[in-house]
Amino acid sequence: MCEECWQMQNDEAQTELWKRDSEFSAVRHWSFNHKKSS
């Protein structure tokens, strides 16, 4: 897990926004940045 993901998922003030509003961006982020790890 990259630092950005870690910070986003562990920031209580951002977690719900990350889930609700950035889901599509998160999918793209994981697909691109974690593709080699998958």
Looking at the predicted structure, is the pLDDT value of residue 21 above 70? no
The predicted pLDDT at position 11 comes to 66
Report H helices in the chain: 3-10, 15-21, 23-33
Distance CA 3, CA 9 (A): 10
> Is the pLDDT assigned to residue 8 strictly greater than 50?
yes
Contact 15, 9 (CB under 8 A): yes
pTM, 2 dp: 0.22
Mean pLDDT of the chain: 65
